Amino acid sequence: MKGKSNMKVALCQINIEFENKEYNKKKIIAKVKEAKNNEANLCLFPEMTLTGFGIDVELIGEKENKTIDFFRKICIDNNIN
């Protein structure tokens, strides 16, 4: 069919370091780049990818949407959803 396009989805998972957002961000960035290099259009990670299911709300909680901003930036930088 003329004009038909396909969406390629990358299902991503990393071996996280529990409650260590900065360490996990580095791994996430690498996975997003790998997905983009494999021509993925959409990159999906499980919930709690940055921290694991921690109970230390003071450590992993946030009010400034830093996690959303992080994912938004790497998606824009890599032209991927």
The pLDDT, as a whole number, for residue 58 is 81
pTM of this prediction? 0.85
Neighbours of 44 (CB within 10 A): 13
**% of residues, the chain, pLDDT over 70:** 96
Tokens 């960035």 correspond to 29
Domain map (residue ranges) of the chain: 9-78
Taking only the tens place, the pLDDT of each residue in 9-47 is: 999 999 999 989 999 999 999 999 999 999 999 999 999
pLDDT greater than 90 at residue 75 = yes
Query: Six-digit token pair at 7?
Result: 């969406």
At residue 1 the predicted structure's pLDDT band, cuts being 50, 70 and 90, is low
